[in-house]
Structure 1
C-alpha cells in the first residue's frame, strides 16, 4: 500500500484492488440503510428495525477496522523507514504511535 506524509499525517494511496473490500462493504451498508428506511416508512415491527440498525452499526465498525488496519500498516512501515533514515532515532516511531493511538481512541468510542 502506498502512502504519503504531509504535515505529520499519513495519507493512504490505495490501489483499486485495495479499496474494493471497503467499497463493497460500504455498498452493502447503503443497501441496509435503504432497507431500514423502508421498514420505518412501512411501520414494521420496532424489534426488526432495531435489529437492522444494529447490523448497520456493526457493519460500519467493520469498515472502521479495515481502514484502521490499512493505516496501522502504513504507519508502521513509515516508522521503520524513518528509523533507518535517522540512524536509530525513535522520533518517527513516537509520531506513528501517537497517531495510531489517536485513531484507536476514535474507533473505540463508537
Structure 2
C-alpha cells in the first residue's frame, strides 16, 4: 500500500507540475521551454501511473481523488490560494473514495 501511495504522489506531482508549466507558458507568457518541460513531465506522469498493480480503470478512478487533494495543496502552497471548508470537505471525500476503490477487500 505504501508503494502504491508513492506512485500516486509521484504521478500527481508530474501531472500537476507538467500542467502548471504549460499554464505558465500559455497563460503567463513564459518561453516555450516551460511548455516543453511541462510536456515531458506529463509523459512521465503517464509512465508512472502504469507502475500501479491494479487495472487501468481502477487506478485512474482512484487517482482522480489523489489529484483533487494534490491540486488543492498545489494551489495553496504554489499559488497562495487557501482552501476553504468546502474544498477540505471535498478533498476528504475524494480521499475516502480512493481508499475504497483501491484497497477495499475484494472477493
TM-score (normalizing by structure 1): 0.38
User: Which structure shows the higher strand fraction?
Assistant: 1
Q: Which has more radius of gyration?
A: 1
